[in-house]
Amino acid sequence: MPKNYINKNFWRSKTVLITGINGFIGGNLAKYLLSLGAKVSGISNSEVKNRYLVYENISNKIQLSKVDLKCFKDVSKYVSKNKIDICIHLAAQVDVNVAKKDPFETFESNIRGTYNLLEALRKKGTVKSIIIASSDKAYGEYPLSKLPYKEDYDLKPLYPYDVSKACGDMIAKSFSSNLFKLPIIITRFANIYGPGQLNFTALIPDCILSINKYRKFIPRGDGSNKRDFLYVKDVCYLYTCLSYNLYKNKNYTGEVFNAGTTHGYTVDEIIRELCKQTSNVKLYDEIKKKYKNKKLSGEIKHQFMNYKKLNKYFGWKPTYSIEDGLNETIAWYKKFLKKHSYKEFLK
């Protein structure tokens, strides 16, 4: 199927608002959309963590505003004053450990933040394409025999981050209903990894730190839980594809799309691959010893996704294998950590 969304004539005349632009996915997406000629603006509640944008030389090419989505007055003012053709809503409190310790901020940002934004966009009334980043976590726990998840599965999350994403997801569904008809697509993607992920509590960046001898890796579980991993470049193509298609065709309003690679990798397999690619057998043996008696609590045991619906609608499929994605990721961190200390990014 032709990649009609990689259309510079289309993107050159569009202003895209990315919420959470100085986060991991937001930064990568901003870079990709700029390369297609789009005008990119972004909001975030934090000014300090925009080092990825600076590092990649794109911070001066985007219009970045400090807006906390928890404050309706500020969101509303920003949305009404600025040109927005397409909005990709990524901003969220995403740290699962923070959510476990202090659920309040997670609920505030991820639930209130979502309805504040959607209400402001509803009042503006001119935005033609809105993508809401939900997550595979919104489904909650399903037995291994029911995986990969299907888009019509009930959302039955239990843990705070998972609940916050499911609430945002359902709120988005309501704004897309025939009552309000806001042009919205909801995405439920698997774990995402790649350059610019500066949340060093996430598995891959955390493990890369220990490979580079910055700190010791402490596994959260016994390595047996399964996760699916999408490379961030594939995710950027996908957001571009979805926002383009919704802009062109309102019939996609209210659709939900899962994305993953169809493979559930155990945490142990990911660690082993990272150690293998960096010729670090000794470290892998050390980490394996630490799995003993570790129990993962407050997190879903197994998750993986497929891309059947996406492929049927748009011909999309991931282009990176886990080996290639990890290879690029390791190389990026190696360079980045020569310029920046990971400690700058710890909360």
Q: What are the residue numbers of the active site?
A: 161
Cβ–Cβ under 8 Å, residues 68 and 45? yes
Binding of residue 26 to ligand NAD (CB under 6 A): yes
Cβ–Cβ under 8 Å, residues 270 and 229? yes
Among 133, 203, 238, 300, binds ligand NAD (CB under 6 A): 133
CB of 178 to ligand NAD, least distance (A): 26
Binding of residue 310 to ligand NAD (CB under 6 A): no
Written as one letter, the residue type at 233 is: K
CB of 16 to ligand NAD, least distance (A): 15
Q: Which residue's CB atom is positioned nearest to ligand NAD? A: 23
Among 45, 129, 225, 261, binds ligand NAD (CB under 6 A): 45
Binding of residue 220 to ligand NAD (CB under 6 A): no
DSSP 33-81: HHHTT-EEEEEES-STT-HHHHHTT-GGGSEEEE--TT-HHHHHHHHHH
Among 14, 16, 113, 204, binds ligand NAD (CB under 6 A): 113
CB of 285 to ligand NAD, least distance (A): 28
Binding of residue 325 to ligand NAD (CB under 6 A): no
How many residues make contact with ligand NAD (CB under 6 A)? Answer: 27
CA distances from residue 78 to 71, 82, 84, 308 in whole angstroms, order as listed: 11, 6, 10, 37
- Interface mask (CB under 6 A) for ligand NAD, residues 62-101, using x and -? ------xxx-------------------xxxxx-------
Structural tokens at position 190: 């698997």
Nearer to ligand NAD, 129 or 303 (CB): 303
| Measured distance CA(333)–CA(197) in Å, rounded | 9
Interface positions, 180-219, toward ligand NAD (CB under 6 A): 189, 191-192, 199
Binding of residue 22 to ligand NAD (CB under 6 A): yes
Among 14, 18, 20, 305, binds ligand NAD (CB under 6 A): 20
Binding of residue 127 to ligand NAD (CB under 6 A): no
Per this entry, what is the length of the chain? 347
| Measured distance CA(313)–CA(79) in Å, rounded | 31
Binding of residue 25 to ligand NAD (CB under 6 A): yes
CA distances from residue 340 to 291, 337, 343 in whole angstroms, order as listed: 30, 5, 8
CB of 194 to ligand NAD, least distance (A): 9
Residue carrying the six token digits 């290639």: 324
Binding of residue 149 to ligand NAD (CB under 6 A): no
- Interface mask (CB under 6 A) for ligand NAD, residues 233-272, using x and -? ----------------------------------------
Binding of residue 109 to ligand NAD (CB under 6 A): yes
- Angle in degrees, CA 26, 30, 36, rounded to 5: 145
Binding of residue 225 to ligand NAD (CB under 6 A): no
Binding of residue 23 to ligand NAD (CB under 6 A): yes
Binding of residue 46 to ligand NAD (CB under 6 A): yes
Strands in 256-259's sheet, in edge-to-edge order, are 63-66, 39-44, 15-19, 86-89, 129-133, 184-189, 256-259
CA distances from residue 39 to 31, 34, 61, 160, 228 in whole angstroms, order as listed: 11, 7, 8, 35, 32
Count of C-beta atoms within a 10 Å radius of residue 193: 23
Compute the radius of gyration of the chain from its Cα atoms: 19
Binding of residue 165 to ligand NAD (CB under 6 A): yes
Cβ–Cβ under 8 Å, residues 325 and 197? no
Task: Give the interface with ligand NAD as residue ranges (CB under 6 A).
Answer: 20, 22-26, 44-46, 49, 68-70, 90-94, 109, 113, 133, 135, 165, 189, 191-192, 199
